[in-house]
Amino acid sequence: MMQLFYATTSAYVRKVMVTAHCLGLTNEIELLDSAAHPIERDERIATFNPLAKVPVLRTEEGLCLYDSRVICEYLNARAQGDLIPPHGDARWLSLSRQALGDGLNDAALLARYEFSARPVEKQWQGWADGQLKKVSAALREIERQVASFSSQPNDLGLIAIGCALGYLDFRFEVLNWRADHPQTAAWFAMFDAHSAMASTRPH
């Protein structure tokens, strides 16, 4: 059985779990508890990943895989799935959308860390604002593209975007991102209702 260091709050872990769900692999993954933190290193995770970041997957053969992009590609190949188109423009579009979703999440996470992990006297509002500008730019690009999105998690790029939007709901409710992105909001309402997304919501 594969082993995955797991955190219910991580959008990157959620991306892996949604992928596993869509590929029918969840029963082949043992979830291992973790406490990943940007400052307080969890040595349990470090036994699989020297960066001590989640997600990290260990295969039955003992191969340790990280980060979420690598793990999702491995799972897709293992299941002979079609979440990543094999070639052509469709492949590059899917991978670029994955980068857009991951980049949105990266920026939101850095903004959160500025106030949740840094001492008050060292916090820099300008840094957080800069990250949130990236979030806004990513949301504008998603709104531009969303008319062509599938309402089902049948593409890794869309899974990444969906998990990033879910992270905004979880950690940045104050942004009220739906107000200025109505088409994305309508798409996400359908996408997030899928069982793979519903069963992996952060908490």
pLDDT value at position 42?
84
- pLDDT tens for the chain, 203 residues long, are 999 999 999 999 999 999 999 999 999 999 998 887 777 888 989 899 999 899 999 999 999 999 999 999 999 999 999 999 999 999 999 999 999 999 999 999 999 998 888 888 999 999 999 999 999 999 999 999 999 999 999 999 999 999 999 999 999 999 999 999 999 999 999 999 999 999 999 98
The first and second tokens of residue 160, run together, are 């990444």
* Angstrom distance (rounded) from CA 141 to CA 83: 21
Q: CA–CA separation, 149 vs 112, rounded Å?
A: 28
* DSSP β-ladder status, 64-65 and 2-6: unpaired
φ, ψ for residue 31, nearest 5 deg: -90, 125
